[in-house]
């Protein structure tokens, strides 16, 4: 069994699964592999795939033994429900107070749990002195706050929600109006750059709600921001999806697409404040499986232990009832975690030219960004294995994408690290053409011999533009 101490990069998980696949194939000649034993707690079950299962902890409940017994038994990650927020940690300007925050932090660490930090820059739960600031003074106060809190926990927090809830609800896709936003649109990137310098070991997350449905404007606005940050080198490592699902903001099965699309930008994703009005077991299982399906989904945090601990207790949205009994949703999540180790890594296949019979090939199995592709005799090597993703990419080696270096006739088609751009998205059509989403041009072999370069070219239905994915 893998423990939660395992490195949780998607690549390692994939590499390990691949190695196990080889071992299993060899072992199958001798004896079938034993079935994995089911784990009996959420944290242990999530750890089987290198993930965590966490909860929000309220310091005021730590002397309730029913609460702490469940929390300690079931969860291996902790988020302070309120204690690390701005009003709690810097009640007076320049005077930091970590009493309640440390109570949660110490309880977590003494019980072997990792800690998510929540949250450093937010329009809500600001102390009065900060609410009354604006402009340059507020910008400086935000920077000082991030530095003060992150210095206290330097090296101790796995993920920090650096910025929380900066986008507007509804269809505008705009930033939320707030005193922080009014200091200038760059306040978010300033917060992230400050945070990186203050604690280089922490994963830096942007966290929000109503961003789980891929079709919502708020989701798209957040996606554009993260893509922009990745392109410009603003330090961001993860995106937190609060996942407060209710009748006004219901779960939609395209949540998995959302997680996949963000992961394809090169950030980790996490479900950070999960609660579901009515706690439908099916919806809880769906959300769990969505995380399990995405390699870069680090883990799931539910926003409280029992229904009676919830900030929305009237919705009975959690996994334990007010008496601490497991609800049906608990069993459904546990089963999903036990049955739901990551989906087997996609095998990938070759992309064979109709006219040449040769394969789309990375010359010399190079992994360098910018290497132009060629035709080569099919031989099944990893440099000829292409894996379509739900985001429309064609991936090789797991993390390199088929990438158009331009948008005109003759533009080179190369490999490049996947970053979610439209020049890395392709439509695989039933007539055998593969069309670049950005250019509208066809994947085209400029010849049929070994070594013929691959380019973009206007579609004309030639056999050098038709391909078979095996
Ligand atoms: C909530 C807490 O659960 C409440 O106790 C508090 O009164 C208000 O904040 N999004 C967030 C969380 O990021 O910090 C919020 O937590 C819930 C919504």
Q: Say if residue 427 is preceded by a cis peptide, omega within 30 of 0.
A: no
Ligand 1: does its nearest atom lie under 6 Å from the Cβ of 419? no
As a whole number of angstroms, the distance between CA 404 and CA 346 comes to 23
Query: Which of 60, 81, 120, 162 best tests ligand 1's pocket when mutated (most atoms within 8 Å of CB)?
Result: 81
Q: How far is the CA of 9 from the centre of ligand 1 (A)?
A: 29
Give the per-residue pLDDT at 434. 97
3-state secondary structure of 227: helix
Ligand 1: does its nearest atom lie under 6 Å from the Cβ of 77? no
Residue nearest to atom 9 of ligand 1 (CA): 82
Averaged over 277-306, what is the pLDDT? 98
- Of 12-26, 121-135, 273-287, 396-410, least confident by mean pLDDT is 12-26
Question: Where do the H-state alpha helices sit in 201-327?
Answer: 217-232, 255-264, 281-292
Q: For the chain, count helices (H), then strands (E).
A: 12, 21
Give the per-residue pLDDT at 10. 38
Which has the higher per-residue pLDDT, 343 or 178?
178
Whether residue 283 contacts residue 269, with contact meaning beta carbons closer than 8 Å, is answered with no
3-state secondary structure of 194: helix
Query: Which of 59, 60, 303 best tests ligand 1's pocket when mutated (most atoms within 8 Å of CB)?
Result: 303
Give the per-residue pLDDT at 37. 72
Residue 47 has pLDDT above 60, yes or no: yes
Whether residue 326 contacts residue 335, with contact meaning beta carbons closer than 8 Å, is answered with no
Q: How far is the CA of 311 from the centre of ligand 1 (A)?
A: 7
Strand 400-404 relative to strand 413-417, pairing: antiparallel
Whether residue 396 contacts residue 386, with contact meaning beta carbons closer than 8 Å, is answered with yes
Whether residue 61 contacts residue 67, with contact meaning beta carbons closer than 8 Å, is answered with yes
List pLDDT tens digits, range 234-259: 999 999 999 999 999 999 999 999 99
Query: Which of 59, 79, 80, 82 best tests ligand 1's pocket when mutated (most atoms within 8 Å of CB)?
Result: 82
Helix axes 187-198, 135-152, angle to 10 degrees: 30
Tell me which residues are annotated as active site. Answer: 165, 273
Ligand 1: does its nearest atom lie under 6 Å from the Cβ of 81? yes
Ligand 1: does its nearest atom lie under 6 Å from the Cβ of 164? yes
At 36, the pLDDT band (50, 70, 90 cuts) reads low
Kindly report the CA angle at 236 between 348 and 145, in degrees rounded to 5? 160
List pLDDT tens digits, range 61-95: 999 999 999 999 999 999 999 999 999 999 999 99
Q: Which atom of ligand 1 is nearest to the CA of 56?
A: 3
Residue nearest to atom 4 of ligand 1 (CA): 311
Q: pTM of this prediction? A: 0.70
Q: What is the DSSP string of 116-164?
A: EEEEEE-SSS--HHHHT--HHHHHHHHHHHHHHHHHHTTTT-SEEEEEE
């Amino acid at each position: 069994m893998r423990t939660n101490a395992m490195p949780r990069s998607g690549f390692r998980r994939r590499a390990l699964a691949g190695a196990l696949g080889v071992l299993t194939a060899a072992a199958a000649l001798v004896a079938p592999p034993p079935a994995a034993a089911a784990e009996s707690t959420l944290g242990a079950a999530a750890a089987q795939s290198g993930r965590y299962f966490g909860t929000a902890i309220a310091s005021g409940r730590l002397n309730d033994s029913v609460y702490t017994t469940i929390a300690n038994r079931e969860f291996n990650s902790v988020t302070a429900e309120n204690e690390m927020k701005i009003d709690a940690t810097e009640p007076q300007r320049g005077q930091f107070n970590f009493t309640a925050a440390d109570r949660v932090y110490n309880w977590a660490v003494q019980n072997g749990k990792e800690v998510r930090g929540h949250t450093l820059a937010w329009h809500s739960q600001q102390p009065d002195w900060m609410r009354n600031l604006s402009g340059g003074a507020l910008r400086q106060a935000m920077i000082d706050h991030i530095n003060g809190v992150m210095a206290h926990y330097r090296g101790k927090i796995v993920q920090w929600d650096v910025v929380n809830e900066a986008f507007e609800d509804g269809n505008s896709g705009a930033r939320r109006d707030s005193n922080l936003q009014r200091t200038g649109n760059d306040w978010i990137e300033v917060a992230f750059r400050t945070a990186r310098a203050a604690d280089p070991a922490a994963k830096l997350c942007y966290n929000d709600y109503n961003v789980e449905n891929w079709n919502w404007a708020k989701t798209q606005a957040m996606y554009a921001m993260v893509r922009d940050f990745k392109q410009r080198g603003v330090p961001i490592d993860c995106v937190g999806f609060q996942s407060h699902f209710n009748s006004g903001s219901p779960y939609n099965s395209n949540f998995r697409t959302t997680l996949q699309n963000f992961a394809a930008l090169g950030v980790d994703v996490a479900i950070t404040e999960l609660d579901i009005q009515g706690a439908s077991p099916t919806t809880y299982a769906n959300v769990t499986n969505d995380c399990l399906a995405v390699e870069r989904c680090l883990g799931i945090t539910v926003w409280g232990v029992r229904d009676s601990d919830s900030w929305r207790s009237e919705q009975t949205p959690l996994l334990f009832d007010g008496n601490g009994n497991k609800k049906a949703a608990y069993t459904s999540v546990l089963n999903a975690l036990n049955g739901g180790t990551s989906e087997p890594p996609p095998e990938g296949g070759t992309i064979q030219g109709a006219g040449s019979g040769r394969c789309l090939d990375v010359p010399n199995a190079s992994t360098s960004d910018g290497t132009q592709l060629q035709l080569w005799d099919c031989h099944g090597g990893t440099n000829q294995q292409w894996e379509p993703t739900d985001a429309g990419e064609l991936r090789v080696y797991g993390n390199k994408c088929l990438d158009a270096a331009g948008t005109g006739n003759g533009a080179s088609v190369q490999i490049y690290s996947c970053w979610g751009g439209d020049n890395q998205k392709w439509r695989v059509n039933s007539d055998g053409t593969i069309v670049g989403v950005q250019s509208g041009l066809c994947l085209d072999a400029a010849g049929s011999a070994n070594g013929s370069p691959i380019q973009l070219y206007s579609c004309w239905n030639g056999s050098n533009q038709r391909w078979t994915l095996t």
